Structure 1
């Protein structure tokens, strides 16, 4: 993460941009790697502000007043850092010409001629790790984007733990089996593609299979789950529970799912009720799905009512 978001006084003005969610609720569940690229290239703090300037070779990172070109220093650092990066997600400082991910202005003279740029450091990280879960702290103020990002980093961590172990075909099958409903909520087509890959787990070369599965898995989770796909998963799980649900409980679940679809209750309501009813061996498959516990429950990220 950008270290200023944890309260380190590394901003251009000697201040910080501590984010309450990142430094508070999420901090208890992750190990942060703190990075301030501007400090790492030796700028110190306080310092002259920077901006991106247009050139035929791509945006240049320069100081606003003196026009010193820092592009080569930042590019060297970004290349080295990105190559060695081994994390499950990255939170960048928004609106930064070094770290911004979205909407960074690119100037020609005193005029901003583009407003869809990326910070020079962030761009190298994203180009090197295109499937890495990435956000900036500004967008994490949106409840859905926050939930999606956190869900992605924990899914990424579980897959990384599996693939870094001495895993066998049966382990990948078991991993995929637990993640089926979660993947289905994000991308049904990629869910089916992942299933086809896993079906050949005992046949294909191990490293080749791992690379292909990681690509499909990461791409699927990069797509936001929708209300409609969540409803599909909830109904699918209810159907799989079969006779373990009596008519009264089935009617109760149906009504709650309909309320979620209509935007009257948060997703946490039907998921909690379904998991509560998933009792006994007949419902073990449903109960063990990561869809119902995609991240630590203390984060309470499914408590927002969909719009």
Structure 2
């Protein structure tokens, strides 16, 4: 690489419902363009956009469809039952998700009978009575096939805590996949856990305590890795709390005692206290830690993903 070239990291591949990028694929010929998805975060990700209805040739505009429950059987039909695409959508979903193992996350369109992640309307056959108990047929196939894949609905990303949680999982998922691709070993697995120690503590102290012992006596590294990663992603799905963040910050604080003078110690302790009281954002003590890491050598803490779980330019740490 020449001196005037800049290294550009490979972008993470994200799946997304086509309508969220402004494609006019909805039943009424419209879209649900998300400015956040289609503009703000595009510098960080490559998209694979999918609309199951268009993929099976329904076209736009088209007759609207909905989920219909006939006993234990789920049907995808028009309101009058004259159009039934259950078989087509089920087959497409099964076949398509099998091709998506390269994705690092997925952003879905809410309430859709194909792409809704949760609370999709399910109608009782022959009536207009419905319950919000459904999952989109494509979304279900995706989540069943890749249970650890970070998946979220676009509307929920307006909640800053949910947004930060989703992208934390996206970058951790990508980190894991790169580690696996480099060749799984016991040492790499233990190193991975070590780097994520404090991020796990912030999300779930229970899972933090449970995951460590898994790696104490590894006999089958691949089986252990599979079990570990399932628990790891389950832990990260739990939203970090102010209480857990405070505990984690205090643990990290201990590593700097030998390096900081009295004024610096007081400044750091005060920033953590004010964060716990809700008077300062998490970004303040995090900034101090990163500042001190540039001044002092604390290798174990410098390796902690917790301090930088995603690019700063995504502006995600304002949630807490």
Shorter chain as denominator, the TM-score bin is over 0.9
Name segments (4+ residues, structure 1) moved above 3 Å: 279-282
Deviation of 1:130 after TM superposition, in Å, equals 2.2
The corresponding residue for 1:52 is: 67
Q: How far off is 1:167 after superposition? A: 3.2
* Partner secondary structure for residue 90 of structure 1: strand
Secondary structure of the residue that 2:19 maps to in structure 1? helix
Distance in 2 (CA, whole Å) between partners of 1:199 and 1:6 is: 46
Tell me by how many angstroms 1:110 deviates: 4.1
How far off is 1:159 after superposition?
Answer: 0.4
Residue 175 of structure 2 corresponds to 158
Does the 8 A contact of 2:22 with 2:31 survive in 1?
yes
1:291 aligns with 2:319: no
Tell me the CA shift for residue 102 of structure 1. Answer: 2.1
Normalising by structure 2, report the TM-score: 0.89
Partners in 1 of 2:169 and 2:77 — Cα distance? 34
Distance 1:137 1:110 in 2: 30
Q: Which residue of 2 aligns with 1:88?
A: 104
2:196 pairs with 1:213:
no
The change in CA–CA distance for 1:174 and 1:128 in structure 2 (over 3 A counts) is same
Matches within 5 A, 1:100-111: 100-108=116-124, 109-111=126-128
8 Å contact from structure 1 (residues 131, 222) kept in 2? no
Please say if residues 259 and 296 of structure 2, whose CA atoms lie closer than 8 Å, have aligned partners that are also in contact. Answer: no
3-state DSSP of counterpart to 1:196: helix
Structure 1: which 5+ runs fail to align?
A: none
Q: Is the 8 A contact 2:257 2:265 kept in 1?
A: no
Q: Secondary structure at the match of 1:244?
A: coil
What is the 5 A alignment of 1:51-130?
A: 51-65=66-80, 67-86=82-101, 87-108=103-124, 109-130=126-147
TM-score with structure 1 length normalisation?
0.93
Asked whether the 8 Å contact 1:186–1:220 carries over to 2, the reply is: yes
Superposition deviation, residue 301 in structure 1: 0.7
Residue 64 of structure 1: how far off its partner (Å)? 2.6
Q: What SS class does the counterpart of residue 31 from structure 1 fall into?
A: strand
Q: CA contact under 8 A between 1:241 and 1:278: conserved in structure 2? A: no
Q: 1:241–1:282: 8 Å Cα contact kept in structure 2?
A: no
Within 5 Å, give how 1:158-197 maps onto structure 2. 158-197=175-214
State the secondary structure of the residue aligned to 1:84.
coil
Contact 2:25-2:31 within 8 A present in 1 as well: yes
1:266 equivalent in alignment to 2:276:
no
293-302 or 4-13: bigger deviation? 4-13
RMSD: 1.7
Q: Distance in 2 between matches of 1:161 and 1:112?
A: 47
**Aligned to 2:115, what secondary structure does the other structure show?**
coil
CA distance in 1, matches of 2:287, 2:38: 27
**Alpha-carbon displacement from aligned partner over 1:240-285 (angstroms, at most 9, x marks no partner):** 2231122211211111112212222221111111221224564222
In structure 1, how many angstroms separate the alpha carbons of the residues matched to 2:121 and 2:61? 22
Change (3 A) 1:50 1:122: same
After superposition, the C-alpha distances for 1:102-132 in whole angstroms (9 at most, x for unaligned) are 2211112442331122112112212222222
Displacement of 1:211 after TM fit? 1.0
- What is the alpha-carbon distance in structure 1 between the residues aligned to residue 257 and residue 74 of structure 2? 58
Q: Are the equivalent residues in 2 in contact too, given 1:197–1:213 (CA < 8 A)?
A: yes
